[in-house]
Amino acid sequence: MMLEIKNVMKRFEDHVVLDGISLDVEKGDVVAILGPSGSGKTTFLRCLNFLEQADSGEMIFEGTRYDLNKAKKSEITALRRKTAFVFQNYNLFLNKTVLENVTLGLILGSRIRKQEANEIAIDALRRVGMADRLSSYPVQLSGGQQQRVAIARVLALKPDIIFFDEPTSALDPELIGEVLSVMRQLAEDGMTMLVVTHEMEFARNVSNKVLFMENAHVVESGSSHEFFANPKSERSREFVNSLASFA
């Protein structure tokens, strides 16, 4: 097992947001994290990268155990070298070119020399179809292109797992497909990914596992094929049917 997440609990004051969330992730898994707004999806991902401090819970990642409530700074730094986060709003540096946005983390974070950083960055940008826009600035790009640069930026760091939080939800509908197809390619290349998404085509056809959350709980988790073909609970069935009606 690459990643075992056990019993994550989190409350904001007296509001329970995560009430014992567990998940097993194998290398190469693409897990779609589904559920209505406010069910705790973002908070769950943030706890896994220590962007948020869980009240309790643990995670075993590549053989190392992390207490999600009290990990040391050095442990968090080590973990973040192997994990990456892609946010809804790209978070590119607006005063840097596409190439600089991707090399910055390599040069400052990983202390790689500029020449080599450029090569790694161009390689990553090629994977997302953006190698022809090296000297463009973010404002000169569409949202879909910016998100692809943001994905290249994390690929350049060669993470073992990537967490995506609604990577396409800020995009105009006609730009969603280009980002999803980059993610589908990553999946085919064997990248391990946890993806909070409302894109059911992606959940159905690209992810192999589903974690369906509601009101701080896991309603159902397991094979995505099973989830869509044969949901186990009434609530899952309702959710899948409500999606079908939009298709």
Ligand X SMILES: Nc1ncnc2c1ncn2[C@@H]1O[C@H](COP(=O)(O)OP(=O)(O)OP(=O)(O)O)[C@@H](O)[C@H]1O
Contact region with ligand X (CB under 6 A), list: 33-41, 73-81, 146-154, 184-192: 33-41
CA dist 106 and 155 (Å) reads 11
Contact region with Mg ion (CB under 5 A), list: 36-44, 57-65, 116-124, 171-179: 36-44
User: Which pair of tokens denotes residue 154?
Assistant: 């994390």
Which among Mg ion, ligand X, none contacts residue 39 (Cβ within 5 to 8 A by kind)? ligand X
Q: The tokens 């059911």 sit on which residue?
A: 200
Distance of CA 121 to the CA centre of its chain: 20
Length of the chain measured in residues: 247
170: nearest Cα among 50, 87, 83, 56: 87
Assess contact for 172 and 125: CB atoms under 8 A: no
Interface residue with ligand X, options 23, 43, 79, 195 (CB under 6 A): 43
Q: How many residues bind Mg ion (CB under 5 A)?
A: 1
3-state secondary structure of 209: strand
153 binds ligand X (CB under 6 A): no
Nearer to ligand X, 36 or 109 (CB): 36
CB of 190 to ligand X, least distance (A): 27
Nearer to Mg ion, 118 or 221 (CB): 221
Which among ligand X, Mg ion, none contacts residue 40 (Cβ within 5 to 8 A by kind)? ligand X
Nearer to Mg ion, 42 or 146 (CB): 42
CB of 166 to ligand X, least distance (A): 6
Tell me the C-alpha to C-alpha distance, in Å, between residue 18 and each of 50, 223, 240: 15, 22, 22
Which among Mg ion, ligand X, none contacts residue 38 (Cβ within 5 to 8 A by kind)? ligand X
96: nearest Cα among 129, 138, 65: 138
Which among Mg ion, ligand X, none contacts residue 37 (Cβ within 5 to 8 A by kind)? ligand X
42 binds Mg ion (CB under 5 A): yes
Vertex 222: Cα angle to 52 and 88 (nearest 5): 40
Interface residue with ligand X, options 41, 153, 204, 209 (CB under 6 A): 41
42 binds ligand X (CB under 6 A): yes
CB of 80 to ligand X, least distance (A): 20
Contact region with ligand X (CB under 6 A), list: 37-45, 70-78, 129-137, 217-225: 37-45
- Kindly state the DSSP code that residue 162 receives in the 8-state scheme: E
CA dist 211 and 220 (Å) reads 6
CB atoms within 10 A of CB 138: 20
Binding site for ligand X (CB under 6 A): 12, 17, 35, 37-43
